[in-house]
Amino acid sequence: MTRLRRFLFFWYDFVVGDDWRMAVAVVAALVITFVLAGAGLPAWWVLSLAVLVVLPLSLRHATRDR
Amino acid sequence: MTSAALFVAVFLACAVEAVEALTIVLAAGTARDWRSALWGVGAGLSALAVIVAALGPALTAIPIDALRMVIGGLLLIFGLQWLRKVILRATGHKALHDESRIFDETLAAARSADSRRSAVIGDWYAFTLSFKGLLLEGLEVAFIVLTFGVSQGGIGTATVAALCAVALVTGVGIAVMAPLARVPENGLIAVGRRKVTA
């Protein structure tokens, strides 16, 4: 593995962690919140809902792999 | 989050990182060469200081709302990953974090590795192992201080908490000269996460 790849892998592992789906879900929820808030609609529930949905799904995925 | 809660959260999170760094340095020193391992610690701390000094002022140039959104997003990702890990460990789907096992594995790898020597650094393997361990765990500590401190408006409290955690773990590590296997890292992660979301 080259030094650059090791460097990039470190940051990926550091920021994203064990399950990339959770990172993607958080980013997607932030984008939806941004869009809703920009349109003047209530957006407080988006991140909460994202956490409630994505955590059980990630756990289910992790336990099913074993 | 109150200042006390912020202090506790940062202290616990940084203590976990400090224990991991201590394990690596102890393994490098015990298996290879203490002098080179301590050179690695010094070099790692110096590199960390340069990185923090260079990037710290740059943060003030970023608009506060954008900074909050990025840090809030990262904090949420970290919090979810920690919570996921704790639940998997508590339910037996993931092995508990075992500092003794990690120490033994690092020790075995260090003992079997070849090394180059130079006039200043007696053992490059011990130096590199300590340097990388210190720098990576130190970056995580800096990141914790930054994310918790900025999001809660208490960068000073977060910094003091991190310094206390590192000083305590270093002091205990020097006193016992052994990996801090009895530190309940899994519990600390769970408590720290609860404090973050409180």
Chain segment B68-102, per-residue pLDDT in tens? 788 788 878 888 888 888 888 888 887 766 667 77
Residue among B80, B93, B143 whose CB faces A62 most closely: B93
Residue B59 has pLDDT above 60, yes or no: yes
B80 vs A10: CB contact, 8 Å cut-off?
no
Specify the pLDDT at position A40.
92
Q: What is the mean pLDDT of residues B44-71?
A: 80
Average pLDDT, rounded, for chain A: 87
Size of interface A-B (CB pairs under 8 A): 47
pTM above 0.90, yes or no: no
B77 vs A15: CB contact, 8 Å cut-off?
yes
- Distance (Å, rounded) from C-alpha B79 to C-alpha B71? 12
pLDDT digits (tens, 9 = 90+) for B123-162: 888 888 889 889 888 988 888 888 788 777 788 899 999 9
Would you call A33 an interface residue with chain B, using a CB distance cutoff of 8 Å? no
| Domain segments of chain B as ranges | 3-197
Q: Which one, of B116, B141, B139, B138, lies nearest residue B126 by Cα?
A: B116
B76 vs A51: CB contact, 8 Å cut-off?
yes
B81 vs A15: CB contact, 8 Å cut-off?
no
B80 vs A63: CB contact, 8 Å cut-off?
no
Q: Is the dihedral of CA A58, A59, A64, A65 positive or negative?
A: positive
Specify the pLDDT at position B61.
73
| Lowest pLDDT segment from A3-17, B109-123, B153-167 | B109-123
B93 vs A66: CB contact, 8 Å cut-off?
yes
Distance from CA of B175 to the nearest CA of A (A): 31
| Domain segments of chain A as ranges | 16-65
B81 vs A17: CB contact, 8 Å cut-off?
yes
Chain A residues with CB under 8 Å of B78 CB are 17
Specify the pLDDT at position A64.
82
- Distance (Å, rounded) from C-alpha B26 to C-alpha A34? 47
**What is the residue whose two structure tokens read 């009895």?**
B182
Specify the pLDDT at position B196.
46
- Nearest residue in chain B measured CA to CA from A48: B76
H helical segments located in B113-123? none
Specify the pLDDT at position B117.
65
User: Which of B84, B94, B196 to probe by mutation at the A interface, max A CB count within 10 Å?
Assistant: B84
| Lowest pLDDT segment from B52-61, B71-80, B120-129, B186-195 | B186-195
DSSP, res B120: S
Q: Are B141 and B17 in contact (CB under 8 A)?
A: yes
Would you call A22 an interface residue with chain B, using a CB distance cutoff of 8 Å? yes
Average pLDDT, rounded, for chain B: 79
